Amino acid sequence: MQHRQRATRRAAFVVITAAVAAVVGTTVSVVPQAAPAAAATQEVEAPDFASEVYGDPWDYSQTTDQNTDAVGTSASISGGKLRVALRSGDSVSLVDTVSGSLPYGRDGAVLPVDASRYKRLSFKMDQPFDRQIGAVYWWTCREKTSACGGGITFPVTPGSQVYDLPLTKASTLQAGRPWSGKIVAFRLDPVVLPAGKSGTALIDWTRLRGSGGSHAAYPPGTYGDAVVARRPRPVVDSPNVRQGVDLATRQRGTPWVFTNASAARGIGIENATILGYGASGMTARNSGAHPGDSQLSLPVSRFKADSYHHLSLEYTYDGPFSLAGTPGGGKMARLIWWDPSSTTPQIGNDVLTWSGQNARRIEIDLSKQDDLDEDALSPELGWNGRTISRLRFDPNEDPGALTWHLEAIHLRTDPSATRTTTVKFHDAAWVAGATATVSVAQSGSGKWQTIRSGVAVQQGTNSVRFDLGSRPAAKYRVRVAITHPGVATASASSTAVIAMRK
């Protein structure tokens, strides 16, 4: 079966026609650094979206801080800075989503911005232009149409400056939708330039933040006579989705980890030529009559979809990301399955696969949303509640001769334990004297029960035993709340439930 190509449905760049002079008076803080003083005062870091939701601030210390495939112009991260090429139509999608795809990871449909908590955007940027403007856009729908969008403009100043933008002021872009509700896409246009002009912007850090003290715009650090103390950043390491039972391991004794040819035993391959196996997995090239429809038919015995619902893919390819329906585009994969009650294949929605440094392990809980493509064939049975009798993975829909590398495919259950398990966590912003409270709640319940409090948090991995005791056998989620002495408390939940048995 050959699937049609779908170009990405990104909102078109909106040309700002208002004269620059009309916005030069816009209220925006360009914050100078205070002069050094003898005695420092302490402020608590303002709540920051990336730190709290991703557990990873936009400080550009690592490549995960920005998906450069989601930047309108060429971009790179190095030396603790995001380097953005400025030209007409430049943009940086801080939070992004693409309609017509299966959301996962940091997709805004999975992890939206709570506009009631994060009301300002602050960033430190060095750029060369005077008497120009920048813009911020946001959307509350995945289609990113003007009707669900809003935004503001702001004046830019040459050189290295800290900008602090109030997102709750009057929205003047697109349909003027105010900053409220759940924001699924959020874009910064660092400098809006006419055609023919170009330059480079260096961004040191970005914060989509809440309220705080006089230095709330800044990340943790020392600024003259003020010290901004960092909030905790708890991360629950266990339980996690990679601890569940793997389908291929259960059924055939070995996982689909394609570092050698034996792992591909029994797999049917169409519209692709295998080039070899190694550390990067199965290396293949799209080929045949339909090169945009490479297929791997995975040998499975019947299994319950409700049990094996955590899909994990480790996959890369040569060349850049694109969703165009021409050679070089179609950078998406999909899962296809059959229920024995029907001969109709269930066509999963597009799984976008990012390129180069943006390629990450893809982890999708197939029980969390409608997994089917918008053009799936009838009857549309979906994943939940089904028995799966056949399974196929289509790695790539590039109609050209693209070379790709598939390291592993996993379908896993929820992790499980009998009577007791060990909760593991760490504080990504650890300070001496931090303490933790560990709680559990049955899946679907908001009633948290404390299992340990006053835990002295060490740097690195910490462990707390979870004993089921008199609690019923059920699926439980874990929450860890960490307190930095005299500063703040923050909490995080596990990425997976754990099925506890008696």
Give me the amino acid identity at 15.
V
| pLDDT tops 90 at residue 18 | no
φ, ψ for residue 103 (rounded to 5)? -70, 145
Beta carbons within 10 angstroms of residue 260's beta carbon: 11
pLDDT tens digits, residue range 222-244? 999 999 999 999 999 999 999 99
Q: CB-side exposure of 128: number of CA atoms within 13 Å?
A: 8
DSSP secondary structure code for residue 250 in this structure: H
Q: Please indicate whether residue 12 or residue 103 has the higher confidence score (pLDDT).
A: 103
Please say whether the beta carbons of 295 and 269 come within 8 A: yes
Q: Which amino acid is at 64?
A: T
* Angstrom distance (rounded) from CA 357 to CA 140: 28
Residue 282 has pLDDT above 70, yes or no: yes
Cis peptide, bond prior to residue 47, ω within 30 of zero: no
Distance CA 130, CA 355 (A): 34
State pLDDT tens for residues 247-273.
999 999 999 999 999 999 999 999 999
Predicted pLDDT of residue 40: 77
CATH of the structural domain 20-30+47-211, one choice from 2.60.120, 2.60.40, 1.10.150, 2.40.160: 2.60.120
Q: How confident is the model at residue 9 (pLDDT cuts 50, 70, 90)?
A: very low
Q: What is the pLDDT of residue 91?
A: 93
Q: Quick check: do 20-30+47-211 and 235-240+415-501 share a fold?
A: no
Total number of residues shown for the chain: 502
**CA 406 – CA 395 distance, rounded (Å):** 8
Show me where the domains of the chain are located: 20-30+47-211, 235-240+415-501, 245-412
Element (H, E) at 438: strand 435-442
CATH superfamily of 245-412: Galactose-binding lectin (2.60.120.430)
Our CA angle for 217, 218, 224, nearest 5°, is 120
Within 10 angstroms of residue 314's Cβ, the number of other Cβ atoms is: 19
pLDDT above 60 for 7: no
pLDDT at 31: 53
Cα distance between residue 245 and residue 54, in whole Å: 26
Strands 159-166 and 81-87: unpaired
Q: For the segment 146-192, what is each residue's pLDDT rounded down to a tens digit?
A: 999 999 999 999 999 999 999 999 999 999 999 999 999 999 999 99
Handedness of CA 200, 171, 144, 194 (dihedral sign): negative
Q: Return the exposure string of 360-378: e unless at least 16 CB atoms fall within 10 Å of the residue's CB, then b.
A: bebbbbbbebebbbeebee
Written as six digits, the tokens of 115 are 């506009």
Q: Is 293 helix (H, G, I), strand (E, B) or coil?
A: helix
pLDDT at 73: 78
**How far apart, in whole angstroms, are the C-alpha atoms of residue 342 and residue 338?**
7
State percent of the chain over pLDDT 90.
Answer: 89
pLDDT band at 36 (very low <50, low <70, confident <90, very high): very low
Query: CA-to-CA distance for 32 and 409, rounded, in angstroms?
Result: 50
CA dihedral 203, 212, 153, 173 (to 10 degrees): 120
Architecture of domain 235-240+415-501: Sandwich (2.60)
